[in-house]
Amino acid sequence: MSLTLYLPKDAAALALGADDIAAALTAEAAARGIELRLVRTGSRGMVWLEPLLEIEQDGLRHGFGPLEVSDVKSLFESDFTDHAKALGPVEDIPFFARQTRLTFARCGVIDPLDLNAYRAHGGMAGLERARGMAPEQIVAEVTESGLRGRGGAGFPTGIKWNTVLQAEGPQKYIVCNADEGDSGTFADRMLMEGDPFCLIEGMAIAGLAVGATRGFVYCRSEYPHAIRTFGDALEMAREACLLSESFDIELRVGAGSYVCGEETALLNSMEGKRGTVRAKPPLPAHKGFMARPTVINNVISLASVPVILAEGAAHYKSFGLGRSLGTVPLQVAGNVKHGGLFEAAFGMTIGELIHDICGGTASGRPVKAVQIGGPLGAYFPVTLFDTPLGYEECDAAGGLIGHAGIVVFDDTADMGAMARFAMEFCAVESCGTCTPCRIGAVRGMETIDRILAGDPAAPAILADLCETMRDGSLCALGGFTPYPVESALKYFPEDFTPRQEAAE
């Protein structure tokens, strides 16, 4: 008898014991004389259900989770049907059923290193279409789709590509930003671990569009599984002639600095220099890597391109709201009941996502706020939960959507301490180039301490300091640090009342 089972091997599933489950499944199958084919996939993104085992029955993938090793024997005894951990068809689980999976369509479904499975699930259709198009046509299709950079700034991808297409240069480059430094974000990692060929395909299309023959992926060293899986995928793509001299990709590993996610610091790091920001202009599109015209895009921006080319710009932009078109992988973490990756059309409200889909906090206490867009994103109190998740909409509410990481806090969170942490984070991570960022963050910590000690002069000083940091920093590190500080002060003034220990 033979049996096929699917089990994730992405970092989150491994951290929750997926390899132990795999070993137990293998041993149990052997003991029963069953020939087991265990397909190791990426994650579906429902982290609270990991390790999530799947089996195909009647054409549908049925799930079991979160599994413990002690469940394995009874799973076989139940013949993978009526079991306490049975979840039914995975795609019917409400968290999954309510998603629009375009970029993550294959993630958690196929073996990430199976090129045949990639093709069988729609992979390569975008690149094949692009090969029959002129560079200008590819750029026009991406522009028409409305795709905007998913790395944070939301700059239109097609316009960036067009600048590089028009730029003169003997060599052009595609650089993929996989630094993913924002707290609570994991979409880039999940994509690289779960569907690496999708990123390779997106980069190859970008190369065709702008006339680049070399690509680089800059990934943080804290992602060993992504590095391994993506590195293996590169080798396989070369063997399959998907990558060749006409377009090849090199994987570079950063040493772990938040500011190296900023595109110009990233380029310096890739060139072997200190990771400090460069003044713009020149734009990387004109003078980027080694002073050559360079496209720098986030993993998700590039991984969204294959489906745009395969299905057409009109299909992609039929999702979304206003100027935020297509889908966005919302990453929900922190104190949340059902956390994970939720790919949705732009426009869902924060409240719908956090309360209806993610089930509120893990602690069961009321939600106090969410922080959107990483450690330098604003806090949104529940009174702003009717804000739709879109670039302009989050901006109008005083924040940013950024890389779409959302961290949930319950009513016990101390927002005064969180605001101080934002300043501390900036002080630690500042590259030192801009004085308002380098010095301002240190003075910011001191000034918050003075507020917490009851100094009546300190709030006005902090307001001035925030303004100076915002206006006087080259990059968003110093420029965005005021977001969490000001939103914490505005919505949670009670968390800034003098504290006994600070006053003593």
Ligand X SMILES: Cc1cc2nc3c(=O)[nH]c(=O)nc-3n(C[C@H](O)[C@H](O)[C@H](O)COP(=O)(O)O)c2cc1C
Nearer to ligand X, 24 or 372 (CB): 372
- Which residue in the set 51, 181, 215, 320 belongs to the binding site for ligand X (CB under 6 A)? 181
What single letter denotes the amino acid at residue 501?
Answer: E
Please give the Cα distance from 6 to 262 (Å, whole number): 37
Q: Is 475 in the site for ligand X (CB under 6 A)?
A: yes
124 closest CA partner among 59, 37, 65, 200: 200
Nearer to ligand X, 46 or 431 (CB): 431
Residue 249 near residue 203 (C-beta atoms within 8 A): yes
- Which residue in the set 8, 51, 66, 151 belongs to the binding site for ligand X (CB under 6 A)? 151
Q: Is 192 in the site for ligand X (CB under 6 A)?
A: no
498 closest CA partner among 450, 448, 445, 453: 453
314 closest CA partner among 191, 74, 146, 485: 146
CA 375 from chain centre, in angstroms, equals 14
- Which residue in the set 41, 103, 177, 335 belongs to the binding site for ligand X (CB under 6 A)? 177
Which of these segments, 102-110, 121-129, 147-155, 453-461, binds ligand X (CB under 6 A)?
A: 147-155
C-beta of 175: minimal distance to ligand X in Å? 8
Nearer to ligand X, 177 or 371 (CB): 177
C-beta of 344: minimal distance to ligand X in Å? 18
* Residue at token pair 């060929």: 197
Q: Is 393 in the site for ligand X (CB under 6 A)?
A: no
- Which residue in the set 50, 71, 180, 393 belongs to the binding site for ligand X (CB under 6 A)? 180
CA atoms within 13 A on the CB side of 319: 22
Applying CB under 6 A, what is the total number of residues that bind ligand X? 22
Which of these segments, 23-31, 72-80, 388-396, 473-481, binds ligand X (CB under 6 A)?
A: 473-481
C-beta of 294: minimal distance to ligand X in Å? 11
SS3 176: strand
Question: How many C-beta neighbours within 10 Å does residue 349 have?
Answer: 16
- Which residue in the set 50, 71, 141, 179 belongs to the binding site for ligand X (CB under 6 A)? 179
Nearer to ligand X, 152 or 399 (CB): 152
Q: Is 377 in the site for ligand X (CB under 6 A)?
A: no
How are strands ordered across the β-sheet holding 173-178?
A: 248-254, 214-220, 173-178, 294-298
C-beta of 5: minimal distance to ligand X in Å? 35
Backbone angles phi, psi at 384, to 5 degrees: -105, 15
Cβ neighbours of residue 176 under 8 Å, at least 6 residues apart? Answer: 199, 203, 215, 216, 217, 218, 296, 297, 298, 299, 302
Which of these segments, 110-118, 124-132, 135-143, 295-303, binds ligand X (CB under 6 A)?
A: 295-303
Q: Is 150 in the site for ligand X (CB under 6 A)?
A: yes
Q: Is 294 in the site for ligand X (CB under 6 A)?
A: no
Nearer to ligand X, 44 or 150 (CB): 150
b (16+ CB within 10 A) / e for 2-28? ebebbbbbbbbbbebbbeebbebbeeb
- Which residue in the set 87, 192, 233, 296 belongs to the binding site for ligand X (CB under 6 A)? 296
Q: Is 301 in the site for ligand X (CB under 6 A)?
A: yes
- In total, the chain counts a number of residues equal to 504
C-beta of 157: minimal distance to ligand X in Å? 6
Q: Is 331 in the site for ligand X (CB under 6 A)?
A: no
C-beta of 320: minimal distance to ligand X in Å? 16
Please give the Cα distance from 249 to 359 (Å, whole number): 41
Q: Write each residue from 252 to 281 as x if it is in contact with ligand X (CB under 6 A), else as -, in one continuous string.
A: ------xx-xxx------------------
- Which residue in the set 105, 394, 451, 477 belongs to the binding site for ligand X (CB under 6 A)? 477
Nearer to ligand X, 180 or 410 (CB): 180
Please give the Cα distance from 329 to 286 (Å, whole number): 30
The strand pair at 320-321 and 35-41 is best described as unpaired
Q: Is 153 in the site for ligand X (CB under 6 A)?
A: yes
Nearer to ligand X, 50 or 182 (CB): 182
Please give the Cα distance from 153 to 148 (Å, whole number): 8
The residues that touch ligand X, with contacts defined as CB under 6 A, are 149-153, 155, 177, 179-181, 258-259, 261-263, 296-298, 301, 475-477
